[in-house]
């Protein structure tokens, strides 16, 4: 047997610190998510700002022009595709109703689910009648009927508007944080070097960690952009070949939603199948459109992307998959986007800290 000393006290403190960190990240997600998005954008855009600085453009001016150009480009692209997207959204309810009617016509007048619902309703009515006859209301007891409030669409519109305003506010915070980080240059890097101490070895290790984190995140972003463009182009061409309308809009939507692993592919597959059924009127074409999207996202999103990510970040595909699941549970959609860069930074630190090398070994390939 292998005898290894285990310090129960230190292990318990480490577990408590880990659980407290997870709880803090979940509770203060509204603070940490904009910060992490800003760091991700800063890492991606810093090389462009440095190129502009070599062309005698000040950092503050280059960062401002770059961010304004990105915001205006995204806004113009959304505006140019708004008509096709609105037409697509309007057709979804009609397509869903048509699918339901077609399935009902194929399975007969009533589906098994409708039969079960009718049986449950009859059982409930019989139980109410028996309870009413068994225990008649007593004298002096007032009968109270609880009525549900009527459906008010304004409440849902208000909640949706508030959610949209909150998202816009967070994006505004991300833009300003990114601008200040880009305009400051290497200020925070120099601060970290001073915090590391006066030892030359400590400063070298700190520089290597920062460079490793930067390089891995930049390579990860290049992989995400490449796979998103590949998914968008392949989806647009496949839908165009199958004769689906607004194939370009579907391609752009598939490329953008590919940034959200698993959720984006499910949304594109389901929505495109509904619209295809509305356009062609047959389940075969709907299955063909949905199957094409599913095959593309499976090959690129579930096979090519994890493999490229593991190659560029020296993380194992299992660690990449588990990171996506864990951070998606912690932060939702934003966790799916930010989980892998966060784990890249964690691995870069663990590889150069003696007491944390075991964690880096578990995350490595």
pLDDT in tens, 243-268: 888 788 888 888 888 877 777 788 88
Token representation of residue 150: 């009527």
Range of the domain at 252: 29-104+157-363
Which carries the bigger pLDDT value, residue 292 or residue 307?
292
Report residue 140's pLDDT band, with 50, 70 and 90 as the boundaries.
low
Q: What percent of the chain has pLDDT over 90?
A: 2
**Mean pLDDT of all residues in the chain?**
78
Is there a domain that residue 312 lies in?
Answer: yes
Q: What is the pLDDT of residues 29-53, one digit of tens each?
A: 888 888 888 888 888 888 888 888 8
The answer to whether 45 and 66 are in contact (CB under 8 A) is yes
The total number of structural domains in the chain stands at 1
CA dist., res. 296 & res. 281, Å (int): 24
Is there a domain that residue 136 lies in?
Answer: no
Task: Print burial letters for 258-276: b (CB count within 10 Å at least 16), e (below 16).
Answer: bbbbeebbeebbebbbbbb
Is there a domain that residue 230 lies in?
Answer: yes
pLDDT at res. 340: 83
H helical segments located in 300-332: 305-313, 317-331
Three-class SS state of 143: coil
Is there a domain that residue 151 lies in?
Answer: no
Is there a domain that residue 80 lies in?
Answer: yes
Going along 157-280, which residue ranges are E strands?
A: none
Which carries the bigger pLDDT value, residue 2 or residue 269?
269
Is there a domain that residue 147 lies in?
Answer: no
Comparing 75-79, 82-86, 170-174, 284-288, the range with the smallest average pLDDT is 82-86
Which carries the bigger pLDDT value, residue 149 or residue 223?
223
Is there a domain that residue 126 lies in?
Answer: no
Residue 151 has pLDDT above 60, yes or no: no
Task: Print burial letters for 101-114: b (CB count within 10 Å at least 16), e (below 16).
Answer: eeeeeeeeeeeeee
- The pTM (predicted TM-score) of the whole model is 0.71
Is there a domain that residue 56 lies in?
Answer: yes
The count of C-alpha atoms lying within 13 angstroms of the C-alpha of 290, restricted to the half-sphere facing its C-beta, is 16
């Amino acid at each position: 047997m292998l005898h290894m000393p285990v310090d129960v006290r230190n292990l318990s403190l480490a577990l408590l610190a880990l659980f407290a960190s997870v709880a803090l990240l979940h509770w203060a997600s509204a603070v940490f998510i904009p910060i992490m998005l800003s760091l991700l954008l800063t890492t991606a855009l810093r090389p462009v700002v440095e190129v502009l600085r070599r062309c005698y453009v000040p950092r503050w001016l280059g960062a401002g022009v770059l961010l304004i150009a990105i915001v205006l480009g995204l806004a113009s692209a959304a505006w140019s595709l708004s008509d096709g997207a609105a037409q697509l959204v309007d057709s979804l309810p009609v397509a869903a109703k048509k699918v339901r009617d077609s399935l009902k016509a194929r399975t007969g007048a009533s589906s098994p689910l409708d039969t079960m619902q009718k049986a449950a309703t009859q059982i409930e009515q019989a139980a109410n009648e028996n309870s009413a006859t068994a225990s008649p209301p007593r004298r002096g007891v007032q009968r109270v009927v609880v009525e549900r409030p009527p459906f008010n669409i304004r409440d849902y519109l208000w909640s949706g508007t508030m959610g949209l305003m909150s998202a816009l506010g967070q994006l505004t915070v991300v833009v300003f944080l990114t601008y200040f980080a880009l305009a400051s240059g290497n200020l925070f890097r120099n601060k970290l070097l001073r915090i590391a101490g006066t030892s030359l070895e400590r400063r070298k290790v700190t520089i290597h960690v920062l460079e490793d984190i930067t390089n891995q995140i930049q390579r990860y972003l290049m992989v995400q952009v490449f796979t998103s463009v590949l998914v968008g182009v392949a989806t647009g061409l496949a839908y165009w070949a199958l004769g689906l309308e607004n194939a370009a809009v579907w391609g752009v939507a598939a490329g953008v939603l590919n940034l959200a692993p698993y959720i984006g592919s499910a949304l594109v597959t389901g929505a495109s199948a509904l619209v295809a059924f509305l356009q062609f009127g047959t389940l075969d074409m709907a299955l063909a459109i949905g199957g094409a999207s599913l095959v593309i996202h499976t090959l690129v999103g579930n096979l090519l992307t994890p493999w490229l990510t593991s190659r560029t970040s020296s993380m194992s595909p299992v660690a990449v998959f588990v990171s996506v699941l864990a951070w998606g549970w912690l932060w939702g959609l934003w966790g799916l986007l930010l989980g892998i860069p966060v784990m890249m930074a964690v691995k870069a630190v663990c590889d150069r800290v003696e007491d944390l090398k075991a964690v880096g070994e578990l995350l490595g390939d």
